[in-house]
């Protein structure tokens, strides 16, 4: 049985990936962000039948020694730990450099030290910025339209350098916009759903015209595993995308029709990104992942939305509807 490390396992995508890896027979070590509340984030909500197969260790990816100890004894690393909120990166870019760039460097150094057989570094479609052509393939130029995206570009290029300089078996995994159960209200789909389910007649949103390529989280997790299980992906940068797009406005209209047809959309100025920072169009190519792996989406967008609505409805008390979550 192969033992794999998942950093950021306490988070949204990380918890789903951890769960799926266990279901597929992997021995999983979950690296979670240390806190004094003894909370393991979303891992605490997983069934005991899953958790009994997970070794949980607490730490901080910014701490090189802690990362080295976590990587030791594992066959592969799925590195998902990161700061991801774009609005927060406008105010605190230093922390994004420390976590996203230095944290990734710590993973790469530890993996090199211990001879780790596979290292999957999590990128983001935000590194591309607004599409210069569509669908966006892995050869599309990079553009740092926010401090967040700039630090992810930096982390990706560090990962590439370790592959080229030290022959570290790195793969850069680049999911487009992921959604689903356990996602915070920081993201657009749960923020729309929570406002609607709480009975709001006015749904506060930022820009409505940008388009996004939405992956259901279970398909994103499956993409990570398919990429890991293919030797053809070593040294590559690979999108996980549906190759379909929808505007934020159209998305909101569809959710309004499903949940509360009387609601209307209003523009909330604090949710508007700076003009040159807004990514206006994301539509990813999935040709490469389909060529190099056996991955294909298992869920339709409609099925993913239905599961997300059900989750938010059951967990509405976790969301602070009256506050804008950056």
Number of Cα atoms under 13 Å in the Cβ half of residue 83? 27
Asked whether the CA dihedral 25, 70, 121, 118 is positive or negative, the reply is: negative
Q: Per CATH, is 3-178+215-240 categorized as 3.20.20.220?
A: no
Domain boundaries along the sequence of the chain: 3-178+215-240, 183-212+245-282+301-318
Q: Containing H/E element for 6?
A: strand 3-7
Which residues does 6 contact at the CB level (< 8 Å), separation at least 6?
Answer: 14, 17, 18, 21, 28, 29, 30, 31, 77, 78, 80
Q: How far apart are CA 63 and CA 45, in angstroms?
A: 27
Q: What are phi and psi of 28, to 5 degrees?
A: -115, 130
* Chain centroid offset of residue 110 CA: 22
The C-alpha R_g of the chain, in whole angstroms, comes to 19
Burial class (CB in 10 A: 0-12, 13-18, 19+), 274: exposed
Interval 257-276: pLDDT, tens: 999 999 999 988 889 889 89
**Antiparallel, parallel or unpaired: β 237-240 and 215-216:** unpaired
> pTM, whole model, 2 decimals?
0.96
Say how many C-beta atoms besides its own lie within 10 A of residue 98's C-beta: 16
How much is the pLDDT for 240? 98
Q: Answer yes or no: CATH 3.30.70.1150 is held by domain 183-212+245-282+301-318.
A: no
* Alpha carbon 194 to its chain's center: 20
Write b or e for each residue in 47-59: b if 16 or more Cβ atoms lie within 10 A of its Cβ, otherwise e.
Answer: eeebbebbebebb
Q: What is the pLDDT of residues 46-95, one digit of tens each?
A: 999 999 999 999 999 999 999 999 999 999 999 999 999 999 999 999 99
> In the chain, helix, strand, coil percent, each to 5?
45, 15, 40
From CA 99, how far away is CA 177, in angstroms rounded? 21
What distance lies between CA 258 and its chain's CA centroid?
Answer: 26
Nearest CA to 83 out of 162, 7, 160 is that of 7
**Tens digits of pLDDT across the chain (326 residues):** 799 999 999 999 999 999 999 999 999 999 999 999 999 999 999 999 999 999 999 999 999 999 999 999 999 999 999 999 999 999 999 999 999 999 999 999 999 999 999 999 999 999 999 999 999 999 999 999 999 999 999 999 999 999 999 999 999 999 999 999 999 998 999 999 999 999 988 999 989 999 999 999 999 999 999 999 999 999 999 999 999 999 999 999 999 999 999 999 998 888 988 989 999 999 999 999 999 999 999 999 999 999 999 999 999 999 988 778 87
């Amino acid at each position: 049985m192969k033992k794999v490390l998942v950093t950021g396992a306490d988070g949204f995508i990380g918890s789903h990936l951890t769960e799926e890896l266990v279901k597929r027979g992997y021995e999983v070590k979950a690296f979670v962000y240390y806190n004094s509340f003894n909370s393991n984030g979303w891992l605490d909500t997983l069934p005991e039948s899953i958790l009994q197969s997970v070794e949980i260790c607490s730490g901080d990816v910014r701490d090189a020694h802690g990362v080295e100890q976590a990587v030791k004894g594992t066959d592969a690393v799925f590195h998902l730990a990161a700061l991801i909120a774009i609005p927060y990166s406008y105010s605190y870019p230093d922390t994004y450099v420390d976590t996203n760039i230095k944290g990734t460097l710590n993973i790469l150094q530890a993996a090199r030290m211990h001879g780790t057989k596979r290292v999957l570094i999590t990128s983001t479609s935000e590194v591309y910025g607004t599409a210069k052509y569509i669908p966006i393939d892995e050869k599309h130029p990079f553009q740092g339209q926010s401090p967040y995206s700039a630090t992810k570009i930096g982390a990706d290029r560090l990962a590439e350098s370790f592959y080229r300089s030290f022959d570290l078996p790195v793969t850069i995994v680049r999911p487009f916009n992921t959604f689903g159960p356990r996602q915070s209200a920081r993201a657009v789909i749960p923020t729309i759903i929570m406002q609607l389910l709480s009975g709001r007649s006015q749904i506060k949103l930022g820009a409505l015209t940008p388009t996004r390529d939405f992956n259901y989280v279970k398909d994103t997790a499956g993409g990570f595993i398919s990429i890991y299980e293919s030797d053809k992906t070593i040294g590559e940068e690979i999108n996980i995308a549906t190759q379909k797009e929808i505007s934020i406005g159209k998305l909101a209209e569809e959710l309004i029709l499903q949940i509360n047809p009387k609601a209307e959309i209003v523009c909330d100025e604090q949710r508007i990104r700076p003009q040159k920072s807004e990514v206006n169009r994301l539509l990813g190519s999935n040709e490469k992942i389909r060529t190099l792996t056996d991955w294909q989406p298992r869920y339709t967008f409609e099925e993913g939305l239905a599961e997300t609505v059900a989750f938010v409805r059951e967990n509405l008390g976790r969301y602070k509807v009256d506050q804008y979550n950056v």
